Structure 1
Amino acid sequence: MNSESRLLESARCFDQAALGEIYDNYSPGVFRYAVRLLGDADLAEECVAETFSRFLKVLHNGGGPQDYLKAYLYQMAHHWITDFYRRQPPPALPLDDEMVNELDDPAQVAVENIDREKVRAALVLLTPEQRQVVVLKFLEGWDNEAVAARLEKPVGSIKALQHRALDTLRRTLLPVREKSYE
C-alpha cells in the first residue's frame, strides 16, 4: 500500500491530520489549475473550497477514489469550472500583473505581455480537452499517464490531443511571430 492509499484510508475515517495533509498537498496545484482556467484568483479560491467540500461529502457518503487522488481532485475542480462556465460566459482573461524592475526594458516587457496575450488567445481556439492536456502537461508538469488518468482516456489519446493542440498553437502563433519581428 503506497502513501497515497494510506492517506486515503485515513481520510475515509475522517482523520484530521490526513485530511489536512491532503489539503496541504493538493490545494496549491488545484488553485493554480483553477486560476489558469478561470483567470481570476477569487473564483479559483472558491473552486478550491468547493472542490474540497465536495470531496468531504463524497467521503462521508462512502465514495471517493481508490487511487489517483490528485487526478480525482482535479477532475472535481474541472467539473466545478465547467458548471461555472455553463452558468455564465467566460470572462476575458487579464494580463498578468508583473512587478516591473527598473532595469527591465519597457519595450521588452510590452512585447512579452503582447506575446502572453497572443498565447492566451490561441489557447481559446483549442477544444476543452486539448486545453486541459496543454495546461496539465506543460503548465502543471504532469506526465502523460497522470493526464490520461485525469481525463479517463488512454495515453495514446492524450498524445494525439497534445499533438493536435500543439499543431493548432504552432499554426496560430508562428505566422504572428514572423510578422511581428520583421
Structure 2
Amino acid sequence: MQQKEAIWLEGARRLEEDVLGEIYDALSPELYRYGYRLLGDVEQAEDVLSETFVRFLRAIRAGGGPKTHLRAYLYRTLHNLVIDRHRRQEPAWHELVPEEIAAGESTNPAYSVQQQLDGRKARALLWHLTPEQRQVILLKFFQELSNAEIAAALEKTEGAVKALQHRGLASLRRLIVKESVDQEHVG
C-alpha cells in the first residue's frame, strides 16, 4: 500500500484528476464506514467524508498535505472533523454493525435480532472506553489498519497505540465479565 500511496501522492501534487479520482474511489468506502461508525448517521458520515477530501485538495493545492502516509492523513482529517462535530453537539449513539450493513450493502434478510442485540451491546461497551481507546479499537479491529497506520493517523507512537489497544481490550474484558455476572444475578 505504501508504494501505491507514494504514486498517488505524486499524482495528487500535480492535481491529476484521474489520480485524485482513484484515491477517492479506493479510500472513500473505508473512510465512510469509519465516519459512520463514529457518527451513527448516514448524512453526517457523507458530510465528513466530503469535507475530508475537500480539505485534502485544499492542502495539496496550497503545497501542503501529506508527504507520506496518505491513508493515515485522511483518517486523521476525518477523525478531527468528527471531533469538531461532537464538540458542537451531543454524539449520536450508533449501531456497530457489519460493514456491508453500515454501507447499505446487505442483501441477507437473515440478519438476526440476536446480531442486532449483540451490536447494541458492543456499542454500549465501546462507549465506556476512553475516546482514544475506542478510536484505536475501531481502527484496528473494524477498519483493519496496522499499528503503524493507526499511529500515523493519530499522531502517536506505535507503542502508545499498542498500550491504548491493550488497555481498551482489558477494559472491554472487565465490562463483559461484569455484565455476564450481573446477568447471572438477574436471571
TM-score (norm 1): 0.88
Match in the other structure for 1:163 = 166
CA distance in structure 2 between the aligned counterparts of 1:23 and 1:126, rounded to whole angstroms:
31
Task: Give the root-mean-square deviation of aligned CA atoms.
Answer: 2.1
Cα distance between partner residues in 1 of 2:3 and 2:93: 42
For residues 33 and 93 of structure 1, the distance between their equivalents in structure 2, rounded to whole angstroms, comes to 12
CA–CA distance in 1 between the matches of 2:25 and 2:168? 32
> Is the 8 Å Cα contact of residues 118 and 173 (structure 1) preserved in structure 2?
no
Asked whether the equivalents of residues 31 and 49 of structure 2 are also in contact (C-alpha less than 8 Å), the reply is: yes
Partner of 1:20: 21
Contact 1:119-1:173 at 8 Å conserved across structures: no
Q: Which of 148, 151, 154 lines up with 1:151 in the alignment?
A: 154
1:81 equivalent to 2:82? Answer yes
Which residue, out of 118, 123, 127, partners 1:124?
A: 127
C-alpha separation between the residues in 2 aligned to 1:174 and 1:114?
Answer: 17
Give the Å deviation of 1:61: 0.7
Deviation at 1:174, TM superposition (A): 2.4
Residue identity over aligned pairs, in percent, reads 44
Task: Compute the displacement of 1:42 (Å).
Answer: 1.2
- Residue of structure 2 in register with 1:40 after alignment: 41
Matched residues, number:
176
Q: Distance in 2 between matches of 1:75 and 1:163?
A: 21
**1:137 maps to what in 2?**
140
Separation (CA, whole Å) in 2 of partners of 1:47 and 1:26: 14
How far apart are residue 95 of structure 1 and its match? 7.5
Moved more, 111-120 or 78-87: 111-120
Of 143-152 and 23-32, more deviation after overlay is shown by: 143-152
| Unmatched 5+ stretches in structure 1 | none
The verdict on how the C-alpha distance between 1:36 and 1:49 changes in structure 2, with shifts beyond 3 A counting, is same
SS in 2 for 1:52: helix
Secondary structure of the residue aligned to 1:54 is helix
- Rounded Cα–Cα distance in structure 2 between residues aligned with 1:153 and 1:147: 8
| Post-superposition offset of 1:145 | 1.3
SS of the residue corresponding to residue 63 of structure 2 reads coil
Distance 1:89 1:66 in 2: 34
Deviates more, 1:171-180 or 1:48-57: 171-180
TM-score (norm 2): 0.86
Shift of 1:10: 1.2
**What are the superposed Cα offsets for residues 6-56 of structure 1, whole Å, 9 maximum, x if unpaired?**
211111111101100110111111101000100111111111101001111
* 2:32/2:49 contact within 8 Å kept: yes
CA distance in structure 2 between the aligned counterparts of 1:94 and 1:9, rounded to whole angstroms: 38
Structure 2 runs not aligned, ≥5 long = none
